[in-house]
Structure 1
Amino acid sequence: MYIRTAFSTYGLQLQKIPKALSSVFSAFTVFILETKPPTLFSSTPMDMAKRSRTILFCFILISLFLLCSAQSCNNNIFASNKVFSACNDLPYLDSFLHWTYDPSSGTAQIAFRHTGIASPRWVAWAINPEGKGMVGSQALVAFQKSDGTMSVYTSPVTGYRTQLQKGDLSFGVSDLSATYSNNEIVIFATLELPKNTTTVNQVWQDGPVLNDSPGTHDLSGANVRSMATLNLLSGQSATTGTTNSKIRSKYIHGVLNTISWGIMMPLGVVIARYVSVFESADPAWFYLHVTCQTSAYIVGVVGWITGLLLGKKSPGIQHTAHRTIGILLFCLATLQVLSLRLRPKKDHRYRLYWNIYHRSVGYTVIILSILNVFKGFDILNPDDKWKKAYVGIIAALGIVAACLEVYTWILVVRRKKSSGDENSPNGMKGTNGV
């Protein structure tokens, strides 16, 4: 039992082992699992010792296979037999950088590899001499055209809306070439950097190919994290603080707005809609409703401001629908808060119109809030578990609201029926109690 479980666990990793080794290993696994007493699993001490050594050898063999087959820049062999003195596993987009650098001349021979390319895509690797980020970077771009040939060229990135047009870089580039094989694109080049350069800001990217031209890359997830500093001498690479700060701000923005607009606002509406029906909850429901909605508004405004700051830090990156809905939500919610100052008393003749306005704006805010939260998920592209968790929360609120809606109608009908009976001079509906 334990052996079968252990092998099942390791079996999940068989996809990482070369096919030849996988076949041998699979046959050996079947032999171990299917052999029955008294051969392999007999209960004598000597056989138990042999069994333990066999199992230990098997696990060692598995570990060696997995280590040997792990994807790393160190075990790569180029088809052209080129050899580089250093390499780095880049943290995003299945990419690797190999290089040989001569600081005295500033010459760097590089090979940028991007694996896992199943559909037509362009890849790029760049150095940014001006700062950290995309704008100002000097890029090497490559993709396979529809006729099967490779297109490889240099492109200076001058803005966020770049289409990666061909152009000269701020430093010399020679021996530029690219290959595509086994779902992997490799860009080779020799760079003429300033002498004694030690650290560079690197950016790498990928995106779809449309009509033999680079299309717009994704604006979330790994595609906005793919930048780092690189020490050409030590080989050390670190993601940039600016990138980490921006990513952190995006997550803060998402969390604040999901909790406030996406959860607390709908919860406040449920309280006002259903808890108010219970006479014993009056006026506690009102203060609970106001507290929930006011807290949601305050937290939501903070999240809204973080969104404006993110937009200011990312010129050229526009999420028009998400931004427009966010501004509209802020305006409507602010009107709701201000309208509390104009709330007529219960017996005032304008109270009915105020209630219609308040509920209409409130339900509109809820619908737009949930819609914008999902648009935010699409932009931020977090792990699926977070989106599923939010869907679960909204679904739970919806189920609770549906159940309370039915119960509320039953309660209201009973009250009206009871009120009608009490007003009848002859008992129930004027039928003498029959």
Structure 2
Amino acid sequence: MSSSRFYVLILIFLSSFALSSAADQSCSNFTFPDHNKLFRSCTDLPVLNSFLHWTYNPSSTTLRIAYRRSDVASSTWVAWAINPKSKGMIGSQAIVAYPKPDGTMIIYTSPVNSYRTQMREGNLSVAVYDLSATYLNDEITIFATLVLPNNSGTINHVWQDGPLAGDSLGMHQLSGDHLQSTASLNLTSGTTVTAKGGDSRATLRNIHGMLNVFSWGIMMPVGFMIARYMKAFQPDVPTWFYLHVSLQCSAFIIGIAGCVTGLVLGHMSPGVHHHDHMAIGTTVFCLGVLQVLALFLRPKKDHKYRHYWNIYHHYTGYAVLILSVANIFLGFGILKPAKIWKIAYYVVFGALVFITIVLEVCKRCMKEKEKNSTDDKNGRA
């Protein structure tokens, strides 16, 4: 009985600790080191460990804010912006801040006119003053006062952060929470409505990655292995041919779906261009079309052009395999998926490479044995 009470007390203690930790992370319990920094309202932003404090004066349409980004390293820039005309990143009027190695803070304004912005300093379309920033306890805070262009009481705002190298601002991540850090905020009620565009893009990016990895990165190599090794070990059995054609055609159809999702993503993200990834993907798709056409243009075994067809089919296939795998690894760098997904593909790809090496050795040993057997027969003859 006493042990049961002990466990109950432990659970109560842990629950209380967890609740108090969560409460400490709430903006309502936060006190600014400068006690003159007081704000009427605040909200815990849904992503990126961020908080917004504000005081809104409807009569003068002035908005005094403090944007806090917690748990950031000193080699990080942060930005908070409003978008007077639409939702999302394009057209937003940003305030950027980051710490210098000597501890001083850099803060400036930057209008965002494209997805490839380098966050250069520039004037905003809204009046802004009283700019300042701090970096304390792994938290960057931006202070500012803005004059809003209208008295609607609702703003579209965006918050973001990314890597910093000296005074050079790197690109923020293009996945996960970094695509969802935009919302509409009612300055009077404090109601936040999170934008859904980031969710749809993130989902489509994941689908694009999975389709292409499965088709070009797994099914195509397996189809290649069937044609190269199953045919060698069972040359008189046509099963390898039907398996090879079925697998490669299925992979190509799934690959088309992957290419289409990539085109849709490009349409949904104007200004974002991954030229190398797109160029390799387009090349792979065109080579894939040639491989499908090869099925219908395949001459008979005794045809005089069959030798040239074999060269064309084999080397086009090798090019598809090499470029597909290269583009998948390039895509990992762009998509930045969770480590578990990359590790899973590395394991599958490594297994395919290992099996290929083993089968290649077996194939060569078998050919060598057949050659020696033929030489022995010729010698006895």
Is the counterpart of residue 79 in structure 1 residue 1 in structure 2? no
Could you tell me whether the CA contact under 8 Å between 1:126 and 1:202 is conserved in 2? yes
Return the match for 1:107 from 52, 62, 77: 62
Please tell me whether Structure 1 or Structure 2 has the larger radius of gyration of its CA atoms: 1
What residue number does 2:338 align with? Answer: 383
In 2: Cα distance, 1:91 partner to 1:182 partner: 21
Could you tell me how far 1:198 is from its partner in structure 2?
3.6
In 2: Cα distance, 1:273 partner to 1:78 partner: 68
Aligned CA distance change for structure 1 residues 403 and 281 (closer, same or farther; 3 Å): farther
What residue number does 1:338 align with? Answer: 293
Amino acid at match of 1:95: S
What residue number does 1:309 align with? Answer: 264
TM-score, with length taken from structure 2: 0.90
What residue number does 1:61 align with? Answer: 13
What residue number does 1:216 align with? Answer: 171
Is the counterpart of residue 231 in structure 1 residue 181 in structure 2? no
TM-score, with length taken from structure 1: 0.80
Higher RCO by CA contacts (8 Å cutoff, separation 6 or greater): 2
Higher mean C-alpha displacement, 377-386 vs 393-402: 393-402
What residue number does 1:22 align with? Answer: none
Is the counterpart of residue 120 in structure 1 residue 75 in structure 2? yes
Aligned CA distance change for structure 1 residues 195 and 310 (closer, same or farther; 3 Å): closer
Could you tell me whether the CA contact under 8 Å between 1:277 and 1:408 is conserved in 2? yes
Q: Write out per-residue CA displacement over residues 22-44 of structure 1, whole angstroms, 9 at most, x where no aligned residue.
A: xxxxxxxxxxxxxxxxxxxxxxx
Secondary structure, aligned partner of 2:173? coil
What pairs up with 1:24-35 in 2 under 5 angstroms?
none
Amino acid at match of 1:76: F
Secondary structure, aligned partner of 2:29? coil
What residue number does 2:218 align with? Answer: 263
Could you tell me how far 1:271 is from its partner in structure 2?
0.8
Secondary structure, aligned partner of 1:187? strand
Amino acid at match of 1:346: K
In 2: Cα distance, 1:408 partner to 1:193 partner: 74
Q: Write out per-residue CA displacement over residues 186-219 of structure 1, whole angstroms, 9 at most, x where no aligned residue.
A: 0112222255424322111122334435343334
Amino acid at match of 2:253: I
Secondary structure, aligned partner of 1:74? helix
Gaps of 5+ in 2: none
Is the counterpart of residue 328 in structure 1 residue 283 in structure 2? yes
What residue number does 1:158 align with? Answer: 113
Q: Write out per-residue CA displacement over residues 53-88 of structure 1, whole angstroms, 9 at most, x where no aligned residue.
A: 333323322322232223332332211123333322
Amino acid at match of 1:111: A
The RMSD of aligned alpha carbons is: 2.4
What residue number does 1:170 align with? Answer: 125
In 1: Cα distance, 2:204 partner to 2:314 partner: 33
What residue number does 2:146 align with? Answer: 191
Could you tell me how far 1:265 is from its partner in structure 2?
0.7
Return the match for 1:287 from 199, 222, 242: 242
Could you tell me how far 1:266 is from its partner in structure 2?
0.6
Aligned CA distance change for structure 1 residues 128 and 120 (closer, same or farther; 3 Å): same
Amino acid at match of 2:296: R
In 1: Cα distance, 2:121 partner to 2:244 partner: 59
Gaps of 5+ in 1: 1-47
What residue number does 1:10 align with? Answer: none
Aligned CA distance change for structure 1 residues 148 and 279 (closer, same or farther; 3 Å): closer
Identity %: 54
Aligned CA distance change for structure 1 residues 281 and 227 (closer, same or farther; 3 Å): farther
What residue number does 2:322 align with? Answer: 367
Could you tell me how far 1:105 is from its partner in structure 2?
4.3
In 2: Cα distance, 1:378 partner to 1:132 partner: 27
Return the match for 1:299 from 254, 270, 273: 254
In 2: Cα distance, 1:256 partner to 1:144 partner: 41
Q: Write out per-residue CA displacement over residues 153-205 of structure 1, whole angstroms, 9 at most, x where no aligned residue.
A: 22221223333233332333233221111121101122222554243221111
In 1: Cα distance, 2:177 partner to 2:17 partner: 29
Could you tell me how far 1:100 is from its partner in structure 2?
2.7
Secondary structure, aligned partner of 1:359? helix
Amino acid at match of 2:100: K
Could you tell me whether the CA contact under 8 Å between 1:146 and 1:212 is conserved in 2? no
Could you tell me whether the CA contact under 8 Å between 1:132 and 1:242 is conserved in 2? no
Could you tell me whether the CA contact under 8 Å between 1:221 and 1:381 is conserved in 2? no
Secondary structure, aligned partner of 2:113? coil
Could you tell me how far 1:261 is from its partner in structure 2?
0.7
Could you tell me whether the CA contact under 8 Å between 1:221 and 1:380 is conserved in 2? no
Amino acid at match of 1:430: R
Could you tell me how far 1:306 is from its partner in structure 2?
1.9
Could you tell me whether the CA contact under 8 Å between 2:179 and 2:199 is conserved in 1? no
Could you tell me whether the CA contact under 8 Å between 2:227 and 2:240 is conserved in 1? yes
In 2: Cα distance, 1:166 partner to 1:280 partner: 68
In 1: Cα distance, 2:331 partner to 2:189 partner: 39
In 2: Cα distance, 1:238 partner to 1:367 partner: 45
Could you tell me whether the CA contact under 8 Å between 1:105 and 1:195 is conserved in 2? no
